[in-house]
Amino acid sequence: MVPAASDGAAVRLVRRTEQAFDRLFGAPANPLRQLGALAVWLLWIVVASGFWIYALYETGVDGAWRSVQEMNTDQPYTSGLMRGLHRYASDAFVLVSAVHLLREALLGRFRAFRWFTWVSGVPLLWLAVISGIVGYWMVWDERALYVGVSVLEWVSVLPGVTVEVVRNFLDAQAVTDRFFSLLAFLHIGVPLLLLLGLWVHIVRLARPQTQPHRWLAVGTLITLVLLSLFWPALSMPLADPSRQPMVVDLDWFYLVALPLADRAPILMWTVLVLATVLLVALPWWPGSRQGRAVTAPGAVAPARMGSPAVVDPVHCNGCTLCLQDCPYAAVTMVPHPLRPASRMALVDPDLCAACGVCVGACPSATPFRRSAAVTTGIDLPGTPLQGERERLDAALRQLETQPHPRVLVLGCEHAARLSRPLPGVQMIASACTALWPPVFIEYALRHGADGVLVTGCPPGDCEYRLGPQWTAQRLAGERMPHLRAQVPRDRVHLVWAAREQGEALADQIARWRERLDTLPIQENSDD
């Protein structure tokens, strides 16, 4: 295993926190591994509750505050509950989105092929904050008055805007029914922009996870309902533009910047602009992560990675399996240059993550033709499948001198490695576990391995999103290309282990070798 220190203190903290949450919530329902999907779920709760509230809201000077107040006084368990859901789900959306952004930044998931997703995600947080500020304004209580005055005076420091304009905008004569119609338009229009931005954010992903685990979704909804019932969202007294409220109860999820802006408006503008620029520029910050060499005991090191996949027209039969499995929608089908009326795959290098998932999906790859190089319809120039077979053969040769049962471990460069040497065990790590076609497992079992253990990132935390899912389905015979029926399933084992779980992986391998020891020793065979 690569020493955890190589990841840095921040990354180690993230991983340890995630593991603690795995124990608390269970790995499938761990919210830290589903922050993006959880944010989308919260957004839908905000939208649904917002429609309910808007149906009762009166867009006028006289009716705005009264209609919102009556939701709590006249209908506390229906409309009042919806108002609470709207408030707390909005707060949770901002919090979860901010934590999601922070987690991805700490894990370095913003460079190279991920730059577009990162850059398109940064404005979404600001759109959410703007929508929330407008929402507080619509209530038209003393808090809304403070928000309005603070925001507009903050804006007044910008060139072309004066304090007089702000004051004229919020005097008693300026606050009309038309003013509240404008607020309602903004409060609906900005979330629509947010939804559009969310689509742009995920459009380059194949099969994006937009819904959290059902138990996480249900638990989140129940929590929000309980908060709404026991701590209902309440209004302050009716706003009076002729006087400024002395004490205001602020929502620190949305309104944290306002007291600071009151004291130092130019400084706050500077901080927000610089923070936004730095976040957007982060993918191009010097020091992008490169492929790492395997330093684990008993591992055979791969070449450095990063070259996009390429398609060989001679061997591409147009099966579309690489298209279906690519996590980043980098593969499309185009007319075949060599076979009229046929199609072949085409890789967009700007979208390709060089993960090798498409290589593992190609049915033309076979290691059994030992007299010729492994050829496949799609391959990685930096780590071709022929080189992977050579690493596999090298590991099998090392196993020949080791005691039975002999175990070959096919692992992932971003997941756990062996924390210590194990007798009768050799490990090979690739860019992603899904890079290995299932036929390579059969090949290893025929040429010296008593068992093959496949390991990689835990589901929900895959460096390339879909690797664990596709690998599990291929081995279970649920996805092409699948492990053939004649392969003994008791000699194939699947274990998910994060980078910090090298010791746990070693323990699981040792226990599995004990089970393999009860099986008869396999004789080598050649195809």
Q: What is the CATH number of the domain that holds 343?
A: 3.30.70.20
Domain count, the chain: 2
In a domain, 293, yes or no: no
Mean pLDDT of 35-53: 95
Strand partners, 496: 456
Rg over CA atoms, the chain:
29
* Region 468-473 average pLDDT: 93
In terms of domains, do 305 and 266 share one?
no
The pLDDT assigned to 334 comes to 94
φ, ψ dihedrals at 345, nearest 5°: -75, 150
Q: Is the pLDDT of residue 127 over 70?
A: yes
Sign, CA dihedral 430-431-433-436, equals negative
Q: Is residue 124 located within the same domain as residue 273?
A: yes
| CB neighbour list of residue 105: distance below 8 Å, 6 or more residues apart | 282
What are φ and ψ of residue 405, in 5° steps? -75, 140
pTM, two decimals, is 0.83
Residue 160 half-sphere exposure toward CB, CA atoms < 13 A: 0
314 lies in some domain: yes
What pLDDT, on the 0 to 100 scale, is given for residue 2?
Answer: 35
Average pLDDT of 16-38?
A: 88
Average pLDDT over residues 305-327: 89
Tokens of 263: 């004291």
Alpha-carbon distance 260 to 219, whole Å?
Answer: 35
| pLDDT at residue 214 is higher than 80 | yes
- Please check whether residues 260 and 370 belong to one and the same domain: no
Confidence of residue 113 (pLDDT cuts 50, 70, 90): confident
| Terminal Cα-to-Cα distance of the chain (whole angstroms) | 34
In terms of domains, do 257 and 331 share one?
A: no
In this prediction, residue 243 carries a pLDDT of: 75
Residue 323 lies in a domain: yes
Minimal CA–CA distance to 275: which of 122, 159, 158? 122
In DSSP terms, 456 is beta-bridged to 496
**418-450: buried (b, 16+ CB within 10 Å) or exposed (e) per residue?**
bbeebebbbbbbbbbbbbbbbbbbbbbbbbbbb
Same domain, 280 and 303: no
Average the pLDDT over 27-34 and give the result.
88
7 against 357, higher pLDDT: 357
Residues 305 and 265 in one domain: no
Answer whether residue 381 is part of any domain.
yes
Compute the distance between CA of residue 441 and CA of residue 354 in angstroms, rounded to an integer. 22
Clarify whether residues 280 and 304 are in a common domain. Answer: no
Place of tokens 């220190």: 5
CATH code of the domain containing 276: 1.20.810.10
Asked if residue 291 has pLDDT above 50, the reply is no
Least confident of 15-19, 223-227, 275-279, 435-439: 15-19
State both tokens at 134. Answer: 């407008």
The closest alpha carbon to 430, from 355, 358, 379, 502, belongs to: 355
Tokens of 79: 């409309």
448 and 333 within one domain: yes
Q: Tens of pLDDT along 443-470?
A: 999 998 999 999 999 887 888 989 999 9
- Please indicate, yes or no, if residue 326 is contained in any of the structural domains: yes
d(CA 190, CA 64): 20
Peptide bond into 481 cis (omega under 30): yes
Asked if the model's pLDDT at residue 164 lies above 70, the reply is: no
- Burial code (b: 16+ CB inside 10 Å, e: under 16) for 313-324 equals eeebbbbebbbe
Average pLDDT rounded to a whole number, residues 341-356: 91
pLDDT: is 59 or 300 the higher one? 59
d(CA 235, CA 222): 23
- 365 contacts 439 by C-beta, under 8 angstroms: yes
Residue 291 lies in a domain: no
Q: Encode pLDDT of 413-442 as tens digits.
A: 989 988 788 899 999 999 999 999 999 999
Which residue carries 């913003």 as its tokens? 110
Asked whether the predicted pLDDT for residue 400 surpasses 70, the reply is yes
> Which residues have a Cβ under 8 Å from the Cβ of 297 and sit 6 or more positions away?
418, 419, 420, 421, 422
Residue whose structure tokens are 């919020």? 170
Nearest of 499, 417, 455 to residue 18 by alpha carbon: 499
Task: Identify the domain containing residue 507 by its residue range.
Answer: 299-516
What φ, ψ does residue 246 adopt, rounded to 5°? -85, -35
Give ∠ CA 123-44-37 in degrees, rounded to 5.
65
Residue 279 sits in the same domain as residue 319: no
pLDDT of residue 249: 82
Statement to judge: residues 268 and 311 lie in one domain: no
* Type of residue at 323: L
89/225 Cα distance (integer angstroms): 10
Same-domain pairing of 254 and 316: no
Please report the pLDDT score of residue 157 as a whole number. Answer: 84
- pLDDT at residue 154 in the model: 87
Helix axes 35-56, 177-202, angle to 10 degrees: 160
For residue 11, being part of any structural domain is answered with no
Please report the pLDDT score of residue 305 as a whole number: 45
Coil, helix or strand for 333? strand
**Residue 407 φ/ψ, nearest 5 degrees:** -120, 125
Task: For residue 452, give the 3-state DSSP assignment.
Answer: strand
484 and 410 in a common domain: yes
Using alpha carbons, select from 288, 351, 289 the residue that is nearest to residue 323. Answer: 351
pLDDT at 57 over 90: yes
Answer with the one of 284, 309, 339 that is the final residue of a domain. 284
In whole angstroms, give the CA distance from residue 177 to residue 190. Answer: 20
Asked if pLDDT for residue 131 goes beyond 70, the answer is: yes
Q: Tell whether 523 is covered by a domain.
A: no
For the beta carbon of residue 264, count every other beta carbon within 10 angstroms: 11
Question: If you average pLDDT over residues 206-212, what whole number do you get?
Answer: 87
Closest CA to 345 of 319, 380, 376: 319
Buried b (16+ CB within 10 A) or exposed e, 35-53: bbbbbbbbbebbbebbebb
Evaluate if residue 242 carries a pLDDT over 80.
no
